[in-house]
Amino acid sequence: DIVMTQTPLFLSVTPGQPASISCRSSQSLQHSDGKNYLYWYLQKPGQSPQLLIYEVSNRFSGVPDRFSGSGSGTDFTLRISRVEAEDVGLYYCMQSIQFPLTFGGGTRVEI
């Protein structure tokens, strides 16, 4: 199975400041088609998870442009340019290049 490792586990941020979360995979997530199959989800307190970023760097519909993703191969990063109070929650990366689909352990972001 592909192991997804997120760092840090916990992130305390100040509103208006930037934040970043790292995700490393135990195998390359780059497919023969050139794409990397890496996604980011956010689970806000008391809510279901929601999709933020698909295929490394594409923001899902309705996701604010302060969220961005980058990376390739085995190293990926989610960045929030200016954190807002509504961004608190658990952030997860996930890979889909190989079954079983696997998630990172999660990063808790608090203000």
Partner 1 sequence: QMQLVESGGGVVQPGGSLRLSCVASGFTFSRYGMNWVRRAPGKGLEWVALTWADGSETFYGGSVKGRFTISRDNSKNTLYLQMNSLRDDDTAVYYCARDIGPRPRNYFDSWGQGTLVSVSS
**What residue ranges bind partner 1 (CB under 8 A)?**
1, 31, 37, 39, 41, 43, 48-51, 54-55, 60, 90, 92, 94, 96-106
Give 59 or 81: the residue with its C-beta nearer to partner 1.
Answer: 59
User: From the CB of 91, what's the least distance to partner 1, in Å?
Assistant: 10
User: From the CB of 10, what's the least distance to partner 1, in Å?
Assistant: 13
Helix, strand counts (H, E) of the chain: 0, 11
Give 28 or 81: the residue with its C-beta nearer to partner 1.
Answer: 28
Dihedral pair phi/psi, residue 64, rounded to 5°? -60, 150
**Torsion region of 77: left, alpha or beta (phi above 0 gives left; psi -120 to 50 gives alpha):** beta
Give 52 or 80: the residue with its C-beta nearer to partner 1.
Answer: 52
Q: Please tell me the distance from the alpha carbon of residue 63 to that of residue 5, in angstroms, as a whole number.
A: 24
